[in-house]
Amino acid sequence: MAFNALVVRKDEESGKTSASVEALTEDQLPAGDVTVAVEYSTVNYKDGLCIGPGGGLVRNYPHVPGIDFAGTVEASGDDRYKPGDKVVLTGWRVGEAHWGGYGQKARVKADWLVPLPDGLDTRAAMAVGTAGFTAMLAVMALEDHGLKPDQGEVLVTGAAGGVGSVATAILGNLGYEVAGVTGRPEQEDYLKGLGASRIVARDEINETVKRPLESETWAGCVDAVGGAMLARVLGQMKYGGSVSAVGLAGGAGLPATVIPFLLRGVNLLGIDSVMQPFDNRVRAWKRIASDLPMDKLDAMVHPATLADLPQLGADILKGQVRGRVVVDVN
Ligand code: NDP
């Protein structure tokens, strides 16, 4: 049976890629133990790269991008899944090295899937997506290092982006006072609606470290930006506070000193969503179902279709996507 997918093809002569919706057949799907009828996917920075020239992530063409998806199992050669099960997939280089979620069907390894927890449908799972899943991992890491709501303000950088929006909503819902850093002041109402108590302008905090230690301001931080901003934040952490380093929207460098680690016992926690072990994935998706207010999630969602993806891919690379795009692949 034919199904639709966004297919990226590469012209061997010019090296240029182009993406368009095409009809594929099931025998074109890659090998795998579970075939999923995909319902929703989403748009991440990596998707922007893979819809476009690839950024070195895509191995072979033609390629179906989509680094995350949620849907219903259609056929399974693995005891853990049966037809009708609702599942979600993030990471494992799906949508980069393997065909991903920008099609009405996907075939993947059973090890890569997570059963959807009660209380979360496939649309909500993709409103969360890799960005929201990673935000939850970042919050769990801060909690595992002792963060509690009475310890003071928690900073979220890149707050109006995908990771930042979900982190803000989760932390606000858990009773934390959240300060959101944004370069888009017009997003203030949106961020306060999600649960931020105040907005910090990007310019206030986006410069190279001048003094290794500043006033102790933040009890914790979810950082989607990296670069000079992360370096600056490290020097503003309260004694013993932790920063979850999630992203590099502002740069991969870290022009910092080790002084905050040595004199204030600050912890820098690395967050990787791609190779995250299964048990912690299950734990994070359960926490998402219980701790992320779904009405707040709805406020972040922009609906889209497969045909919208080439434009959305270009937009996210320019930092022009707010909140979470949910792609209805059907
Ligand atoms: P988005 O593009 O949705 O959000 C990034 C946000 O960062 C922007 O909305 C903007 O926030 C801010 N920003 C962008 N450019 C700059 C800049 N030059 N200086 C300071 N701030 C900037 O991306 P996501 O939220 O989906 O992802 C955020 C980061 O996390 C990315 O780097 C992504 O690659 C990474 N990531 C990592 C994962 C992991 O496993 N570790 C998983 C998923 C994502 P505002 O407009 O509010 O200023």
Q: Give the pLDDT confidence of 147-203 residue by residue, as tens digits.
A: 999 999 999 999 998 899 999 999 999 999 999 999 999 999 999 999 999 999 999
CA 65 to each of CA 48, 49, 68, 87, 100: distance values in angstroms, whole numbers, following the listed order? 9, 9, 9, 18, 5
Where do the DSSP E strands lie in the chain? 2-10, 17-25, 34-42, 68-76, 86-90, 105-108, 113-115, 154-156, 178-182, 198-201, 218-223, 237-245, 267-270, 301-305, 324-328
Quick one: which of 299, 75, 84, 326 has its CA closest to 192?
A: 299
* Cβ(194)–Cβ(127) below 8 Å: no
Q: Ligand 1: distance of its center to the CA of 221 in Å?
A: 14
Distance (Å, whole) CA 181 – CA 159: 6
Would you state the pLDDT for residue 162?
A: 87
Would you state the pLDDT for residue 209?
A: 79
Would you state the pLDDT for residue 319?
A: 80
Q: What's the whole-number mean pLDDT along residues 110-131?
A: 96
DSSP assignment of 67-89: SEEEEEEEEESSTT--TT-EEEE
Q: Which two tokens stand for residue 312?
A: 């959305």
Q: Ligand 1: distance of its center to the CA of 30 in Å?
A: 31
**Strand 86-90, strand 68-76: pairing:** antiparallel
Where do the DSSP E strands lie in 193-315? 198-201, 218-223, 237-245, 267-270, 301-305
Residue 18: CA count within 13 A, CB half-sphere? 6
Q: In the CATH scheme, what is the homologous superfamily, with its name and number, of domain 2-116+298-328?
A: Medium-chain alcohol dehydrogenases, catalytic domain (3.90.180.10)
Q: Ligand 1: distance of its center to the CA of 83 in Å?
A: 36
Model confidence, pTM: 0.95
Please tell me if the CB atom of residue 183 comes closer than 6 angstroms to any atom of ligand 1. yes
Going from N- to C-terminal start, the domains of the chain cover 2-116+298-328, 130-270
CATH for 130-270 is 3.40.50.720
